Chains A and B, each alone.
Chain A
Amino acid sequence: AQRVTQPEKLLSVFKGAPVELKCNYSYSGSPELFWYVQYSRQRLQLLLRHISRESIKGFTADLNKGETSFHLKKPFAQEEDSAMYYCALSYGNNRLAFGKGNQVVVIP
């Protein structure tokens, strides 16, 4: 069975400091990993996917199959990055298994 683990529930960082959200997964197939984000009073939306290998809003994430990880990173946090972040694993046909989420608070 597929499983996604996000260990820290709440992460507080100062503006301009680096942010790293950890995500580990367990899956017997070929993994497709995503980060979804939910800003205050907005709906859940896709932030980035590993297959795209792109930086979105300054965030990057690298899939490490050896460590079964897909950590999300940003070198300099901005106030607008305050949000709930969910790591998700696709196990076929757009079915996603989500982690419990990380609440990020950026302190001005």
Chain B
Amino acid sequence: ETGVTQSPTHLIKTRGQQVTLRCSSQSGHNTVSWYQQALGQGPQFIFQYYREEENGRGNFPPRFSGLQFPNYSSELNVNALELDDSALYLCASSLGGTAGGTGELFFGEGSRLTVL
């Protein structure tokens, strides 16, 4: 069983740039969620994808966008980067989507983004 993998692990960008983060879900999982974890905070829900459609969104502006591919892998895109976007971005896969789900998320190790 392959776990959740994320890339890149670390990256540095400057204000105004754009970034794409990638996630491969755990084998057999059809739902991918993205979370932002700022330093000293708990993860905060950005959005979720189920069967290539956005299936819920947290309190994040439209410059945060995503995609899910037929193999259930996913991308998180952030445009017009701001200093406050510096954080650990976590991807989590699960079984569920509109079917509900057990609440058990399987997390990747995260992509640490620094915006200068």
Contact = CB atoms under 8 A, between A and B. Distances in A.
Interface stretch (B15-23, B61-69, B77-85, B105-113): B105-113
B104 A49 contact: yes
A94 B48 contact: yes
B48 A44 contact: no
Contact of A95 (B33, B41, B109): B33
A92 B103 CA distance: 8
Contacts of B42: 4, 6, 86, 88, 98-101
A107 interface: no
A98 B44 contact: yes
Given A43-B107, A94-B103, A100 B41 contact: yes
Contact of A34 (B56, B103, B109): B103
A32 interface: yes
Nearest to B58: A95
A102 B103 CA distance: 20
B107 A44 contact: yes
B43 A98 contact: yes
Contacts of A93: 31, 48, 50, 55-56, 96-98, 100-101
Contacts of A86: 42-43
Contact of A94 (B41, B43, B101, B107): B101
A11 to B, nearest CB: 15
B70 interface: no
Given A46-B104, A46-B105, A94 B44 contact: no
Nearest to A38: B107
Contact of A43 (B45, B50, B97, B109): B109
Interface string B43-57: 111001010000110
A49 B103 contact: yes
Interface of A: 4, 6, 9, 32, 34, 43-46, 49, 86, 88, 90, 92-101
